[in-house]
Copies of this chain bind each other. A is one copy, B any other.
Amino acid sequence: MESEVSQCRVEEALGIVVGKWKPVIILYLLHEGTKRFSELKRSMPGITQKMLTKQLRELEEEDIIKRVVYPQVPPKVEYSMTDYGRTLSPILEAMHEWGTNHVIHKQTIKVVEKEA
Binding site for B on A (CB under 8 A): 3, 5-6, 8-14, 16-18, 23-24, 27-28, 31-32, 43-45, 62-63, 84, 87-88, 90-92, 94-100, 102-103, 105-106, 109
Contact = CB atoms under 8 A, between A and B. Distances in A.
Contacts of A91: 91, 94-95, 98
Contacts of A18: 14, 18
Contacts of A92: 10
Contacts of A106: 62
Given A17-B10, A95-B14, A102-B12, A5 B24 contact: yes
A14 B16 contact: no
Nearest to A103: B12
